[in-house]
Amino acid sequence: MATETTLILFKPDAVSKNLVGTVLSRFEKEGFKIRGLKMMSLSDEILAEHYAHIADKPFFPEVRGFMQETPVIAMALEGDDVIAKVRDLLGPTDSKEAAPGTIRGDFGDKGGEAKMRNVCHASDGPETAAAEIRRFFHEGEIH
């Protein structure tokens, strides 16, 4: 097993529903280690960079608006095969498809915004994780 570090963003729905501690405890119970943790408001620029793959889509302003509803909590999480394991813990992006017992299945929106209001973002691979960690954390903020 490879030790990796991934980025987790606790989205505005997790923050506004007071789910951050509950979800964080699930990650800690798996033995993952927090390497960095901070609350931040997301600028238009960081969101355009983070969502570059959809920034030209007509629904992007809605995504940007949602991600700016409240500050988010960015976390760098380390562990063996943490990227795949976190994605399994979260469940599918669409909360309506997420099984009970997964984070999105238990806490995600089951209505029309189930793909957006799904509690957390998590990196999908090692290269993406490295780029996302650099995007959300400055030098010296990862321990």
**pLDDT at position 137, please?**
98
In one-letter notation, the amino acid at residue 89 is: L
**pLDDT at position 1, please?**
77
State both tokens at 43: 């600028």
Segments in the chain below pLDDT 50: none
**pLDDT at position 70, please?**
98
- Beta-bridged to residue 9, according to DSSP, are 74, 121
Task: State how far the Cα of 23 lies from the Cα of 1, in Å rounded to an integer.
Answer: 24
Task: State how far the Cα of 108 lies from the Cα of 50, in Å rounded to an integer.
Answer: 21
Percent of the chain with pLDDT over 70: 100
**pLDDT at position 112, please?**
85
**pLDDT at position 27, please?**
98
- 121 an active-site residue? yes
The residue from 50, 53, 121, 138 that is catalytic is: 121
Task: State how far the Cα of 3 lies from the Cα of 41, in Å rounded to an integer.
Answer: 29
**pLDDT at position 72, please?**
98
What is the DSSP track for 91-124? --SSGGGSPBTBHHHHHS--STTTTTSSSEEE-S
Domains plus CATH for the chain?
3-136 (3.30.70.141)
